[in-house]
Amino acid sequence: MLVLGGSRSGKSAHAESLVADRDDVVYLATSTAAPEDAEWAQRVAAHRARRPAGWTTLETTVPSDLLRGGTVLVDSVTTWVAALMEQTGVWADEPGALDRLAGRCDALVGAWTMTPAHVVAVSDEVGLGVVPETRSGRLFRDALGEVNQRLAGTADEVWFVVAGLPQRLR
């Protein structure tokens, strides 16, 4: 399942509700609290506090972690792609960075399509706003938009959350 929505749309809460009755949930967190960013640390803490005590949290950006089986809640593909852009040198405009990013995105989509796990992934829908002013913003929007399309194309269900109201697209 893929749950899409804008920032602060309620997509994470909806994704959590989709697996709330399961006891084998691995919460794959793709972002960690940054000590130098108090506001981000508060957001991460709020997400942690909302999780049931029985869920296992795994903080990673390695796609093979989707292959563990059971139930996996990925929150979020958005921060995962941002991390991949950092790890592959896209933000620093390193030679070959876009090719490395494409390979890492391919690995993510491959893991998504091959896993026996019940996966619910959360991602921001970035195609509804204005064209970003900066090159890096456009690269991020384009990379995430492509990954979202590829994940949605193979997902059993796709949800779009607007103002806390989930709408099933597929």
Distance CA(24)–CA(153), nearest Å, equals 26
Q: Which pair of structure tokens corresponds to residue 80?
A: 């995962």
Q: CB of 24 within 8 A of CB of 134? A: no
- Helix, strand or coil for residue 141? helix
Q: Which pair of structure tokens corresponds to residue 147?
A: 């990954």
CA distances, 164 to each of 19, 66, 83, 161 (Å): 17, 27, 26, 6
Catalytic status, residue 47: yes
Q: Which of 47, 74, 117, 144 is catalytic?
A: 47
Q: CB of 9 within 8 A of CB of 37? A: no
Residues 6+ apart with CB under 8 A from 60: 28, 29, 30
The residues carrying an active-site annotation are 47
